Structure 1
Amino acid sequence: EGAGSCAEVNLMPSDIVNFPMAEYADADVILVADIHRGGVFAQIIGTLHCLPQKYRDMVKGFIINRFRGDIALFKDGVEWIEKETGKRVLGVLPWYSHFKIDAEDSVEIENCLNLNDLRPDVPAIAVIRLPHIANFTDFHALSRINGLQVVYIDRPHHLNQFRAVILPGSKNTRADLEWLMQNFKKPLEAYARSEGHIFGICGGYQMLGEFVDDPDGLEGHPGKTDALGLLPVQTVLKAPKTTTRSQFEWEGKKGEGYEIHMGYTFLKGGIPMLDILSRNSNPCTDRDGCMLINKKIAGTYIHGFFDSSPVLSKWLEGLGLDLFCPDEGFTSLKEKSYALLRAHFESHVDLTHIL
């Protein structure tokens, strides 16, 4: 990044993730500058001048990112950068609009639908905006369904206007659970009594249970935090972290996602939600998640749950919604988008000086 980060002089003595990592790996460094933010020349020259000489020597070149307009008009800019720094500009990447890739978490929140903009005649899904919310990509497939609104909420006003409320993943489950208990417990209980649909993913699944126990203090101080009690499950956080690509089946509908979580969740009632067919390509016969008998409240550890069109269609049908889901699943669409990103990069960056 050319806007700061790797050249924060006040943090450099304790920095372990930027140049020290590259130095440890004996790796070359490419500085990427975001021209869309403006001041691209100052980004590059300023960053280099803030670096000690040993780090400056590790920078082998620059890439100018997010360029709008005619690249030919930036030819003089490229020449100036190369003359002033003595290093190559390896490419200028134009702004793209012919494909979409996953956004950063903060960008996703900034661009989400405002609660005041909801149309009362169009069904809506609410995702609770936890303080440490994670894995926003879980809801991209929902967001592209025509005739469906997806909104992030941080206040429990009028939950009955939503066809379903989703509890997402979290970077700190117990801290977010305490916030949730303080702000959403009674409204979610009332929503559940009115037979509203509630769905939890990963940390959100854990929060729907009876408690989350962290005996080893993996997320902070050791202890047990009472949960919502909407699902008959209990969670104990334990190392190591589970990280798998997982294929699953939900009542005849197959999908694929991933798991990334600490610990285990034990069912004390209800029914398992999913059959796990494989983890990291290894066949298995495990079960995942929990669902009440009436199927109104459920949870799973599977991220990317909605990315399979048959699974998404089945979930929407359970809400009483008959909406068209594209035959091409969201996973396949993402793979095509990343292939287009690769082609876009290769056509504008001189790879002979990188590889």
Structure 2
Amino acid sequence: MTANVLMIQGSSSSAGKSMLVTALCRMFSRRGIRVAPFKAQNMSNNAAVCPDGSEIGRSQAVQAVAAGRDPAAEMNPVLLKPEGNSQSQVIAMGRPWRRVSAREYYRHKPDLWPLVTRALDQLRASHELVVIEGAGSPAELNLRSGDIVNMAIARYARSPVLLVGDIDRGGIFAQLLGTVWLLEPGERALVRGLVVNKFRGDLALFDEGVRLLETRGDIPVLGVVPFMSDMAIPEEDSATLDTVLSNGTPHMDDIDIAVIRLPRIANYDDFAPLAAETGVRVRYVSSRTALGTPHAIILPGTKSTIADLMWLREQGLDRAIPEIADQGAAVVGICGGYQMLGRSIRDPEHVEACVDQTHALGLLPIDTLFDEIKATHQIHAQLLGGPGWINALAGDRIRGYEIHMGQTASPQPWLQITTRSGQAVQCNDGAVRADGKVWGCYVHGLFANAALRRAWLTDLGWRGADGALPTATDLQTALDCLADHVESSLDMQQLESIIWHP
């Protein structure tokens, strides 16, 4: 079997490529077609862990869920995780490969191309359709010679391409037509359809715009997709963190949760389930002034714990967070944020920094030792109980995943990991202060566990809407809503013809 392919490219970053691929994977999966997503190269610290412990971009993992498949390294063979100072960790086929500067990375692209094509070939051999996502824009002329993610992939797979533009940004004609006109003739021939995304208002008002795009570009417009907000689907782009997240109109009596927007923040979709609850507001803040006096502060995961801890000090947040905790606010650390809550971080091998030891915030009696081994696992865990709100959850089981370097010794664990990547283990995790207000652990995806999420929110004073405990939007429901929204906006007959009769 060699699967048919369809590639989604964009006029720019954030044009809607990821969401369109997600919707298409869901749409064709619901038709009984064996479909898989693919993105040759992704750049994001928002990562996911596959069942075998390999690491891929979060968006590809969500697309896999939409397609009804387990996420796999073949779906995102190259993942770049920025670490600052123009350096990134390269994840190749789900495993750490090397750390490189931007300049060095371009020299390594010829080494990665065979890995990329082999991954795509493997997916095509086991599926009926592969929906391929590009990155940025295919018309970045200075990057074309080293391309391994846009038209190079389209040419290799002989894939028809849909080009999507973001009308909400303005300049949709320059976006779509300019991109098409900058392509080489052979590349331009692969573009079989245009999609106008994020349209606000009366669709009939853009009828003339569709005619102009088709006339000037000599390419059909397959659809105009209305703007869709509150999708409750994990985002790939950290630009979305600039807005306050909440379910419905924010009110003054909402539970106010401030997530520290670290420069190298990772896996920030950990907190989407909190924002999806009625009566909860999640803000991302990067200064003492913006922090205010929330009910809770969360220190999230980070690609570089020590560097972001230094940044906290530069902002004065290393003093502000303990002060607000002393006033009764809750403070939570996840992964790198958990490490920051301890007394010290030791790095004798200089895995992250050139200093052997760094003092942390001192809010939990824990110490972390960095080493070169990276833990990447899907996990199951059991709550051991503990002070405050945790006590009532003793014996409960949760699911999540680990992506971290370093080991943390804790005298007060409140979790026991029972499986890692399907293998039975007994490994304690987490620490909690005696009053239950300050706590942390290594487990990502923690707040996707409803009982734990609501127990903690209730301890903060949350009662939901009208005293009821609301249900957060289920991912599967959100994926169906997205698929319905996109499917109703596209010319499906023409799209089917492009896919199955290229």
Contact 1:101 1:334 in 2 (8 A): yes
1:266 matched residue in structure 2: 408
How far the C-alpha of 1:70 sits from its partner, in A, is 4.6
Runs of 4 or more, structure 1, over 6 Å off, are: none
Matched, 1:66 2:198: yes
Contact 2:261 2:286 in 1 (8 A): yes
1:92 to 224, 229, 235: 224
Question: Residue type matched to 2:214 in 1?
Answer: E
Aligned with 1:6: secondary structure? coil
Structure 2, unmatched stretches of 5+, are 1-9, 13-135, 384-393
Aligned with 2:455: secondary structure? helix
How far the C-alpha of 1:301 sits from its partner, in A, is 1.9
Alpha-carbon distance in 1 for matches of 2:197, 2:373: 38
Alpha-carbon distance in 2 for matches of 1:67, 1:160: 35
Contact 1:128 1:152 in 2 (8 A): yes
Distance 1:36 1:309, change over 3 A: same
1:292 matched residue in structure 2: 433
Distance 1:37 1:201, change over 3 A: same
Q: Calculate the TM-score normalised by the size of structure 1.
A: 0.80
1:154 matched residue in structure 2: 286
Aligned with 2:257: secondary structure? strand
How many residues align structurally?
Answer: 347
Alpha-carbon distance in 2 for matches of 1:214, 1:339: 46
Contact 1:235 1:263 in 2 (8 A): no
1:2 matched residue in structure 2: 11
Contact 1:231 1:270 in 2 (8 A): no
Aligned with 1:199: secondary structure? strand
Structure 1, unmatched stretches of 5+, are none
Alpha-carbon distance in 2 for matches of 1:348, 1:56: 24
2:399 to 251, 256, 260: 256
Contact 2:232 2:272 in 1 (8 A): no
Contact 2:299 2:337 in 1 (8 A): yes
Q: Which has the higher contact order (CA 8 A, sep 6+)?
A: 2
Alpha-carbon distance in 2 for matches of 1:274, 1:265: 15
Render the CA deviation track for 1:170-201: whole Å, top value 9, x for unaligned: 23322111111342223334444555432101
Alpha-carbon distance in 2 for matches of 1:43, 1:319: 46
Question: Residue type matched to 2:485 in 1?
Answer: H
2:167 to 29, 35, 38: 35
Question: Residue type matched to 1:2 in 2?
Answer: S
RMSD: 3.5
Alpha-carbon distance in 1 for matches of 2:216, 2:348: 57
How far the C-alpha of 1:317 sits from its partner, in A, is 3.8
1:176 matched residue in structure 2: 308
Contact 1:270 1:292 in 2 (8 A): no
Alpha-carbon distance in 2 for matches of 1:38, 1:193: 47
Distance 1:344 1:192, change over 3 A: closer
Aligned with 1:252: secondary structure? coil
Alpha-carbon distance in 1 for matches of 2:374, 2:222: 38
Question: Residue type matched to 1:262 in 2?
Answer: H
How far the C-alpha of 1:15 sits from its partner, in A, is 4.5
Identity %: 37
How far the C-alpha of 1:131 sits from its partner, in A, is 2.3
Aligned with 1:272: secondary structure? coil
Distance 1:207 1:25, change over 3 A: farther
Alpha-carbon distance in 2 for matches of 1:273, 1:244: 19
How far the C-alpha of 1:168 sits from its partner, in A, is 1.3
Matched, 1:312 2:453: yes
Within 5 A, what are the aligned runs for 1:239-250?
Answer: 239=372, 241-250=374-383
Between 1:157-166 and 1:194-203, the stretch displaced more is 157-166
Matched, 1:211 2:344: yes
Distance 1:302 1:10, change over 3 A: same
Distance 1:23 1:184, change over 3 A: same
Contact 1:2 1:47 in 2 (8 A): yes
Alpha-carbon distance in 1 for matches of 2:380, 2:355: 33
